[in-house]
Amino acid sequence: MSESPTPEPPRPARPRPASATPPDAGGTGREGVAQGEGRRGRGRRGRPRRPQGEGERQGEQPPDQGEQRPDQREQRPDQRERGRGRGPRPNRRNQQGDRRQDRPPPTPEEREARRVAREKRLAARAASVPAITYPDLPVSAVKDDIAAAIRDHQVVIIAGETGSGKTTQIPKVCLELGRGIAGQIGHTQPRRIAARSVAERLAEELDVDLGKQVGYQVRFTDESTRDTLVKVMTDGILLNELQRDRDLRRYDTIIIDEAHERSLNIDFVLGYLKQLLPRRPDLKVIVTSATIDPERFAAHFTDRDGKPAPIIEVSGRTYPVEIRYRPLVRVEPAKTPGKPDVETEIDQVTGICEAVEELWTEGGAAERAREGSGEDILVFLSGEREIRDAADALEGMNLPGTEILPLFGRLSAAEQHRVFSRHSGRRVVLATNVAETSLTVPGIRYVVDAGTARISRYSQRTKVQRLPIEPISRASANQRSGRCGRVSDGIAIRLYSEADHDARPEFTDPEILRTNLASVILQMTALGLGDIARFPFVEAPDSRMVTDGLRLLHELHAIDPEEKDPRRRLTDVGRRIARLPVDPRLARMMLAAVDEGALREVMTIVAALSIQDVRERPLEKQAQADQQHARFKDEKSDFVTLLNLWKYLRKQQKELSGSAFRRMCKNEYLYYLRIREWQDLVGQLTTTMRELDLEPNSRPATSDQVHRALLTGLLSQIGLYDRDKREYLGARGARFAIQPGSALRRSSPEWVMSAELVETTRLWARTNAETDPAWIEQAGAHLLKRSYSEPHWSRKRAGAVATERVTLYGVPLVTDRQVGYGSIDPETSRALFIRHALVEEDWDTPTASSTTTANSWPGSPNSSPGHAGATSSSTRTPSSSSTTSASRRPWSPARTSTPGGRRNGAADPSCSRSPRTSSSPTTPTRSTPPTTPTSGSRVTCGCGSPTSSNPAPTPTA
DNA sequence: GAGCACTGC
């Protein structure tokens, strides 16, 4: 093991290897973990994993139309050459469109050759269909009904609980119907691990090799080929394929599994399919759901006659579960007869202990447990803290032969894994919602449901994500109690009353009603779907949520809010953000990083922010883990901390063998599989950026470059420290605190930007860095509000001046900057000029070498920065010789001098208004501050570079 | 002085 090394200095310039994927760390990474890991390395039959972005780009065409356009197959030389240059580049999609039109129509011979090839492919696919048998499962009993429904309808809804076998048997019914030949059968799952295991089971039941007739694709892993008949994938993969295959031509059948989960992806796919069906009459869609609410999906997919899609119900193979209500009150008979009984509330922990005790003594349970049959108890709680409290109390009960196990997402892999290990005696597993859908805890006979969960909600008021603890819905309660009826009959105790249960909402709000819609809106705009209000969502989001999504996209420069034509609303930046497989804020950072020359660093940070933290903090060893991780900390930036960690890992990986590296990870509380995912994601982002002709920097970027790029994605997540209240003032009056664990917790710098603001017990900022109001003013120029006070005549500046106040979402960036008032309020300024300069002659006649009104222009280098807060490190160097053409300004004194030299001369190296920001393709400088000169005069900033559209000062860093 | 859960060419 190495001694705490100091993180490396910035990475030296090193040519990038041809493959964008980071070098293999050795090992196959196949250890099973509770969640999240994908099978890596090799397929089951030793087939090498297909590298990302390399080799054939399979399946852009349906198997029966397998011909690929030449422009899709290879990069054309002109595209390759364009890659290095800066400046705007033409949209490739348009080029393809043009090219398609340019292509000469096929000759009859070509057409015939294609027809023959197609028939050959179809015959080969048909011949590859394996023999189909059905195991003894509830769904097998109704397979003929399902087959008939699919044959007769374009859309079929299949409702059935877990254990019915619908997930694995329906693809087989489809194959037997002859589907999967003309196109693939696409089968979506909400989670990667599910996609993989469904494909594995299907391949096993059909007795074929995984990756041949049955394949799967999840992020970073594609175990499917053009010859694959059934492709299982995450719904995100299907969504992403839309970008290249608008009509999903490669599929002849699409199965959307677990639709009741109603994730953002599922809702988007269902809406899209609804629109697609009339264009693809040959396409069959099967939507499967738990038995809750299949009617909603049936009604969504009405046919042309307005008839809802048929629903086929499949019974599940589950055992009866007895529900007992044990509300958290204790009823004692009234002491005086005739008076009502006395109810006293008990706390949740007591309720849990009593419920566990009740189940403990349940008829013969203890005896059965001794015999080794599953008698375990699963307790559902809302979060980590509740789990710890309950665990402490249960441990205190000293139940004989009993193990108490916590289970929540942030637990280390090993800790999560304990619930899958074999054990003797009894177990009480205390879990969050992970155990409701993502993880199946084996051997559960009893459930205790506290009836609450943390639900992610987007706050309309503060535009911030919240995680409030809420009563769960009836559907969720049903799902929880169902977790104990899988191996035998079970008992579920609900720590609330039946009346409480019945009064609860039927379903949890679908994600689309609870989340910021920026990403969905962007994808829809990029796909040319037009008006969001008219998109056929299963449940349409509130228009205010749409407005908020659009607002964020404007903040990111992704859309032009003034463009009325929705097809033209997307900016170049927006089009590129839509291509990048990360959150729009993070994608924005990457594009800004290109201009800053910091793409390599920012890509690493963005990938880290996109995945779960690779740093583990086991419950019992938090101090040791913190100590290990402290080596990487940067005092001013949690982002730099991530870079330090990345550099350390790369260095260790180079020096150690695969197994030694993994040992090191474990010893230093780093999660190997997430590190692999981090590296995979950096590889994927590198590839995608390269496809956009954007290359990473070869020279290491400075911290300022990195943070300026990050800031472009975090403009509404900045904060100004309020010393009195010891908290930060954020956008729209939000007040937040730095989360403990952030390196900035103690230093509390004046200005911070945060990668994530989440409201739990209070509004917390997680992953933060110090920032600079001058940078914010520059990056947020399109969002600033300016106001002016105390206009007066300045003898010294020979012009009207006023005090400027600049705010971003209500956060004061500048409070008392003295600026020229002429362009802001010409009339008042003119009056001041007449009264003071002309009438009172309060004016020094300018000499030939001095300047006049130019200095009083807002944004001219002589206006004081005046940034709020005191720690601004970036005071601009005043440049005394700026000038402007004043002749057209009616309020300016008649005599204006034009000092020679600088004007239109060579660029002043001290000028911060570099061409980078004014001509960059990714940073439109179009902005509409109220201070744009009205007369069209041109402001120069002392070095001759024109800045006519943006009078905001451009500070140096 | 602390955090539900997923997911993308």
Q: Is the model more confident about A779 or about A862?
A: A779
Q: How far apart are the first and last CA of chain A?
A: 40
pLDDT in tens, A587-640: 999 999 999 999 999 999 999 999 989 998 887 888 889 899 999 999 999 999
Spanning CA of A20 to C1' of B3, the rounded length in angstroms is 33
Q: Which residue is nearest to nucleotide B5 (CA to C1')?
A: A434
CA atoms within 13 A on the CB side of A141: 11
- What contacts 24+ positions apart, CB below 8 Å, involve A142-150? A142/A312, A142/A314, A143/A169, A143/A173, A145/A312, A146/A170, A146/A173, A146/A312, A147/A173, A147/A176, A147/A177, A149/A310, A149/A312, A150/A174, A150/A177, A150/A179, A150/A284, A150/A286
The closest nt to A523, taking CA to C1', is B8
Measured from Cα to the C1' atom, the residue closest to B9 is: A240
Q: Per residue in A808-824, pLDDT tens?
A: 999 999 999 999 998 89
Distance CA A219 to C1' B5 in A: 18
Phi, psi of A942 (to 5 degrees): 90, -15
Distance of A761 CA from B1 C1′ (whole Å): 12
| A258 Cβ neighbours under 8 A, 6+ residues apart | A189, A190, A194, A266, A288, A289, A290
The Å distance, CA of A764 to C1' of B2, is 9
Lowest mean pLDDT among A74-78, A743-747, A851-855: A74-78
Per DSSP, the three-state class of A324 is strand
Q: What is the C-alpha separation between A613 and A387, in angstroms, rounded? A: 21
Question: Closest residue to B1 by CA to C1' distance?
Answer: A740
Closest nt by CA–C1' to A192: B7
Closest nt to A189 (CA→C1')? B7
Second CATH level (architecture) for the domain A125-314: 3-Layer(aba) Sandwich (3.40)
pLDDT higher than threshold 70 for residue A542? yes
How far: A194 CA to B7 C1' (Å)? 12
Between the CA of A190 and the C1' of B5, what is the distance in angstroms? 12
* 3 state SS of A709: helix
Residue nearest to nucleotide B4 (CA to C1'): A454
Residue with CA nearest C1' of nucleotide B6: A191
Query: Which strand (E) or helix (H) includes residue A98?
Result: helix A92-102
Q: Which nucleotide has its C1' atom closest to residue A692's CA?
A: B9
Q: What is the pLDDT of residue A533?
A: 85
Averaged pLDDT of chain A:
78
The pLDDT tens digits for A468-486 are: 889 999 999 998 998 888 7
Determine the Cα–Cα distance for residues A233 and A188; give it in Å rounded to an integer: 5
- A221 nearest nt, CA–C1': B9
CB A798 within 8 A of CB A837: yes
Name the nt closest to A587 by C-alpha to C1': B8
Give me the CA A803–C1' B6 separation in Å, rounded: 50
Average pLDDT estimate for A76-90 = 35
> What is the spatial distance between Cα A852 and Cα A897, in angstroms, rounded to a whole number?
7
**Ramachandran class of A693: left when φ > 0, alpha when ψ lies in -120 to 50, beta otherwise:** left
Least confident among A631-635, A654-658, A844-848, A943-947: A943-947
The pLDDT of A906-920, averaged and rounded, is 33
Q: Residue A393 corresponds to which tokens in the numbers above? A: 């109390």
How many helices, marked H, and strands, marked E, lie in chain A?
30, 28
Q: Are A553 and A564 contacting, i.e. CB atoms less than 8 angstroms apart?
A: no
The nucleotides of chain B lying under 7 Å from a protein CB are 1-9
- A264-273, A837-846, A931-940: which range is least confident on average? A931-940
Q: Is pLDDT at A372 greater than 90 in this prediction?
A: no
Please say if the pLDDT value at position A744 is more than 50.
Answer: yes
Give A434 CA → B6 C1' in Å: 9
Do the Cβ atoms of A707 and A737 come closer than 8 Å? no
Residues A779/A711, Cβ–Cβ less than 8 Å = yes
* Residue ranges covered by each domain of chain A: 125-314, 322-509, 519-579, 584-713, 717-770, 786-919
Nucleotide nearest to A584 (CA to C1'): B8
Distance A191 CA to B6 C1' (A): 7
Residue A760 (CA) to nucleotide B2 (C1'), in angstroms, measures 9
Between the CA of A433 and the C1' of B5, what is the distance in angstroms?
A: 7
The mean pLDDT of A931-954, rounded to a whole number, is 32
DSSP A508: P
Per the CB < 8 A criterion, the answer to whether A230 and A250 are in contact is: no
Amino acid at A450: A
- The whole-number Å distance from A652's CA to B4's C1' is 34
Domain A125-314 matches domain A322-509 at the CATH topology level: yes
- Spatial distance between the Cα atoms of A536 and A514, rounded to a whole number of angstroms: 18
Look at residue A504 and give its three-state secondary structure. Answer: coil
Instruction: Provide the CA A216 to C1' B6 distance, Å, integer.
Output: 19
Q: Tell me which residue has tokens 């003894």.
A: A136
Residue A581 CA and nucleotide B9 C1' are separated, in Å, by 8
Tokens of A232: 């299982």
Closest nucleotide to A457, Cα to C1'? B4
Whole-number Å distance between alpha carbons of A946 and A940? 5
Q: Which nucleotide is closest to A454, CA to C1'?
A: B4
Fold classification of A322-509 is Rossmann fold (3.40.50)
Q: Nearest nucleotide, C1' to the C-alpha of A241?
A: B9
Q: Above 90 in pLDDT, residue A753?
A: yes
Name the nt closest to A383 by C-alpha to C1': B4
